[in-house]
Structure 1
Amino acid sequence: MLDLLVDLKKGKRGAIAKAITMVENDQKESKKLLKKIFKNTGTSIIIGITGPAGAGKSSLINKTVGALKKLGTKPAVLAVDPTSHVTGGAILGDRVRMTESTDSGTYIRSIASRGATGAVSRSLRNSIRVLEYAGFDPIIIESVGAGQTEVEISNIADITVVVFNPNTGDSIQTIKAGLTEIGDIYLVNKSDLSGTNQLFDAVRDFIGDSDRNPSILKTSVKKNTGITEFAKTLKNMMALKKKSKKEKDIERLEEELKDIVLNNIREKIDDMLDSDKTFSKYLKKLQSKDIDPFDAGDKITKSMLK
């Protein structure tokens, strides 16, 4: 463990990969590691990049990472991928599209979303801590662009970027579907395509008036336009968010602690139910329709809380 910590502090890629794998797959070892590094985490700005599939997020991140490095930052990327149902691992399409930034020494890692709420948060939070300990700042989280994960990522991120492109024909509908509350920056990407200006105006009219007053920008990876401006906007926002980060982290740690306690209780209860005579007694009654599920649930709960 000591060797791993030393290499991690030096930012060695092999050590980072090993530590994140541990966080994802080995709870016991992961707890030991996190106990050692916890005090030296919580310092980096987390940027969540989300938006509908096909918005061009991976290519955009690829270019933006380069621009952020030129501005003197040390970014890393965690791509939360849809889980491959066969292996339970992450589908690595994103890493293929981000070869440019990987070659320039940026650390990029795919994390499987495993389809469970909470599971994303847990492995993400701790993977972020590993990267913070290794000296990366900012840490960019890319979401798969699927409902629940977006909201979870906006809870973890200090800055949330929502990416649209003019090709998603129902863009305005998409915009209305809950993404309006979470963005600090809205990007109309692939702005070389026709329909860009209408979409940009629609985003501005619909979202720009909100109390949060988010930035609304256009980018095109193909034409390499708007990327530098986006990176500069991010860097300025990072400086601002550093000031309010302490407060936000206080809330986050409270959420995390509740998550851990509830999880521990859930595991304990699962174990108890497996061996609980009252549970099997009422389950049989329920299965033969001698009792309804609510009554059965109440009776089992009462017996367990004695």
Structure 2
Amino acid sequence: MDIVSELKKGNRRAIARAISMVENNEKEAKLIIKKIFRTSGKSMKIGITGPAGAGKSTLINKTSMELNKLGYKTAVLAIDPTSHITGGAILGDRVRMTESTDSGTYIRSMASRGATGAVSTSLRNSIRILEYAGFDPIIIESVGAGQTEVDIEKIADITVVVFNPNTGDNIQTIKAGLTEIGDVYLINKSDLPGSNQLFDSVRDFIGMSEKNPIVMMTSTKSNKGIAEFAKKLEDLMKIRQKTKTSDEKQQLDLELRDIVLNNVKNKVTTMLDSNKSYASYLKKLQSKKIDPFEAADKITKGII
């Protein structure tokens, strides 16, 4: 089958195959992207992030159903923390999101492979495939660990940060990078005790930032605030549409840098393995005749 024309028709098997190619086979991925790249960049990308246990999957499930009711065709890419032993992704998300698949949402779990902030080339290209297949918006759910949340902002047009009163989120933990990136902050599981205090402290703390983000309360258990959240996303998408072209230019700049730096890193790694001066400086370092900075400077000069 001609995978590109099948993608255009929105064939789900073709989408699954194309995303697998993008994840696992660089050569095939390059061929697909070459064909579809020119038309890319039109769909809205919504990044949803926050600590583990904040209830992101159920929230995304219900929100995508609301967006579909508003006439959108939503897709979800859930980035899973990878099991380093098997390289497989935890597929719990899919199980929690079955309802929305019935309403036409396309859901795919992707292994983060330990990529910096789980935002790797394969994610950007998977977004392009879903976009080519007619999905808009595309929701990216990211793992709430380490750098991930802060990196999602490089790719998303709208960033949503989800908190829940149960995870012991106090303002100290929230400060860590998450307060600069959100366009929307959600206190999810708002039927739990402590949500009002969390809402107030998030609003007080984040209200001071220049982004002037929206702070809302949602509960997937009682469906409270979900339709309002979807509507708020629709409003934000309309606003962002106006700056989409310049935003995309910036995103492509970051992507190109990522790819170039990665290429250079791979080349240098290969070179070091067979580089005689590297081996001799390493010996000097190991016998403490030279310090690591001096050794690195000398090797770098030789390479560049």
TM bracket, shorter-chain basis: over 0.9
In the alignment, structure 1 residue 46 sits paired with structure 2 residue 45: yes
Q: Does the C-alpha gap of structure 1 residues 173 and 118 become closer, same or farther in structure 2, counting only changes over 3 Å?
A: closer
What letter matches 2:54 in structure 1? A
5 Å-filtered alignment, 1:1-306, equals: 3-117=2-116, 120-305=119-304
- Structure 2: runs of 5 or more not aligned: none
Q: Does the C-alpha gap of structure 1 residues 279 and 210 become closer, same or farther in structure 2, counting only changes over 3 Å?
A: closer
Q: Does the C-alpha gap of structure 1 residues 16 and 293 become closer, same or farther in structure 2, counting only changes over 3 Å?
A: same
Q: Does the C-alpha gap of structure 1 residues 279 and 191 become closer, same or farther in structure 2, counting only changes over 3 Å?
A: same
Shift of 1:4: 0.3
What letter matches 2:116 in structure 1? T
Shift of 1:10: 0.9
CA contact (8 A) 2:62 2:220 kept: yes
Matched residue SS, 2:249 = helix
Matched residue SS, 2:32 = helix
CA contact (8 A) 2:49 2:161 kept: yes
CA contact (8 A) 1:164 1:171 kept: no
Matched residue SS, 2:192 = coil
Matched residue SS, 2:108 = strand
**Distance between the aligned counterparts of 1:271 and 1:41, measured in 2?**
33
- Structure 1: runs of 5 or more not aligned: none
Tell me the TM-score normalised to structure 1 length.
Answer: 0.95
Q: Does the C-alpha gap of structure 1 residues 295 and 17 become closer, same or farther in structure 2, counting only changes over 3 Å?
A: same
**Distance between the aligned counterparts of 1:295 and 1:182, measured in 2?**
38
Shift of 1:260: 1.4
Deviations 1:154-186 (A, max 9, x none): 121111111111212233222222211111111
**Distance between the aligned counterparts of 1:235 and 1:148, measured in 2?**
27
**Distance between the aligned counterparts of 1:212 and 1:221, measured in 2?**
27
Shift of 1:102: 1.8
Matched residue SS, 2:46 = strand
**Distance between the aligned counterparts of 2:117 and 2:225, measured in 1?**
35
Once structures 1 and 2 are overlaid, which stretch shifts more, 176-185 or 43-52? Answer: 176-185
Shift of 1:118: 6.5
**Distance between the aligned counterparts of 2:17 and 2:214, measured in 1?**
37
Shift of 1:266: 1.4
Matched residue SS, 1:167 = helix
Matched residue SS, 2:167 = coil
CA contact (8 A) 2:117 2:150 kept: no
Shift of 1:17: 0.8
**Distance between the aligned counterparts of 1:295 and 1:208, measured in 2?**
47
CA contact (8 A) 1:48 1:159 kept: yes
Once structures 1 and 2 are overlaid, which stretch shifts more, 275-284 or 107-116? Answer: 275-284
Tell me the TM-score normalised to structure 2 length.
Answer: 0.96
Matched residue SS, 1:156 = coil
What letter matches 1:10 in structure 2? K
Shift of 1:119: 5.9
CA contact (8 A) 1:114 1:120 kept: no
CA contact (8 A) 1:121 1:153 kept: no
What letter matches 1:18 in structure 2? R
**Distance between the aligned counterparts of 1:98 and 1:60, measured in 2?**
9
CA RMSD of aligned residues (A): 1.5
**Distance between the aligned counterparts of 2:161 and 2:20, measured in 1?**
28
Residue-pair matches, total? 304
Shift of 1:29: 1.0
What letter matches 1:140 in structure 2? I
Shift of 1:291: 2.5
**Distance between the aligned counterparts of 2:289 and 2:203, measured in 1?**
59
